[in-house]
Structure formats: structure tokens, C-alpha cells
Amino acid sequence: MADPQVKPSDVHSFEALFQNAIDPWNYRTSRFEARKRQDLLRACGSGKVGRGLELACAIGETSRALMSRCLTLVATDGAPTALAEAKRLTPQNMRIDYRAGILPRDLPRGPFDLIVVSEIAYYLPARQLDGLARSLLKAVAPGGTIVVLHHVIPFDDAAQLPAMAQARLCRALEARMIRVHGKRQRRYVAAAFRRKTGPITNGSK
């Protein structure tokens, strides 16, 4: 259980974190992070789509990996220091558009064929997470896929319990989309949902 006295992390605390250590979670060197990234890519499917979106891209390790799944990618984060490092590490020939933005307010305009939401849901209060889910449903293209992957072990600076946040987001998406992938590890859960080619309507699956 998170300590009620610990303030949930926000964009300012993340910026301070990246200023102090540019790769605070060892995305570039951790074998665990590499394995988790491979599970995320498997959830995206084996084919290549047109336009992708990644939320909370940090220093762009997953962004660069996602170029094996999409032709172009919009990658967003709220920490300017992280975005600057992502741009520095990304080869110029990679078609990644890094953008600053705070979720759920600054979700880029769709449609997107692939949307990746990883390690961000539990930093949003429940009402904001519900709003993000609604915006994602509007942003995904007909036939498009939304992938969600999050830790499920509690930690102190989350706005809500990680397992509850992952489950809440999955329920919101599954009410309107088709679940096409699911994988549970001890520390994290991955799921993917596909939109039907027609319009999304209430209660449709």
C-alpha cells in the first residue's frame, strides 16, 4: 500500500528526476526493462502500421523500438529534459515526432493506428484516467490497436494502486474494443485491444 503521506509524482517531480539522473530507471541498460520492452512489442503485433503514438516516452528507448512496428511515431512526455535526451539519442532518419505534453490534457490528435500507454496510468487520479481512456478511444483509428502495460506492484509515489489503474484502464477499453492480447508477469501486465473497423458505439465489442 502506498504511503498516504507521500505525494504522487507529477510532471515537475519527473523533470527534477531526469535532471538529477538522465536515465533514472536504467531503461538503456536494465535486462528487466529490455525484457519488458520485448513483451510490449509482442503485444503490438508482428506487422507494421502507419501512424503510432506513445505516451510518456521518457528518453525514447521504447520510442525507437516502436519504429519496428510503425512508419511514423508521435512520442510525448511532460519532462523537457527527458525529451531533449530522447531527441539526442534518436537517429535523424527515424520518423519520430517528440512532443511536450501533460496528460490527459495534451493527448495528440488522432487517428493513430497504434497507441502505446505504458507506465503512466497509475500516476493519474481515477477521474483523469477515465478521461484519458475516453480520449484514447476517440484517437484510435478504425482497426487500430491500443497497448497498455503497467507495473502491478504497489509503490509510494503512485496516485492509485498500480494493479487497480491497469485494470481500470483495461475495463474502459474492453467495453468498446476487442481484447486481442494479454500477458501477466509477476511485476507487470500487458494487454492489447483492437478497434473494429466501424464506429465505436456504447456497449459494442
Boundaries of domain holding 128: 11-194
Q: For position 156, what pLDDT does the model report?
A: 86
Identity (one letter) of the amino acid at 201? T
Angle between helix axes 126-139 and 162-174 (nearest 10 degrees) is: 40
Q: Is 178 exposed, middle or buried (0-12, 13-18, 19+ CB in 10 A)?
A: middle
CATH code of residue 82: 3.40.50.150
| Domain membership flag for residue 201 | no
| Domain membership flag for residue 205 | no
| Domain membership flag for residue 129 | yes
* Mean pLDDT, range 157-164, rounded to an integer: 92
| Domain membership flag for residue 81 | yes
Sheet holding 112-118, edge to edge: 96-100, 70-77, 49-55, 112-118, 140-151, 188-194, 178-184
| Domain membership flag for residue 5 | no
* Mean pLDDT, range 108-132, rounded to an integer: 96
pLDDT grade, residue 157 (50/70/90)? confident
| Domain membership flag for residue 200 | no
- The verdict on pTM exceeding 0.85 is yes
Tens of pLDDT, residues 34-90: 999 999 999 999 899 999 999 999 999 999 999 999 999 999 999 999 999 999 999
Q: Say how far residue 17 (Cα) sits from the centre of its chain.
A: 19
| Domain membership flag for residue 147 | yes
Which single residue is written with the C-alpha cell 495528440? 108
Q: Looking at the 3D structure of the chain, how many domains does it have?
A: 1
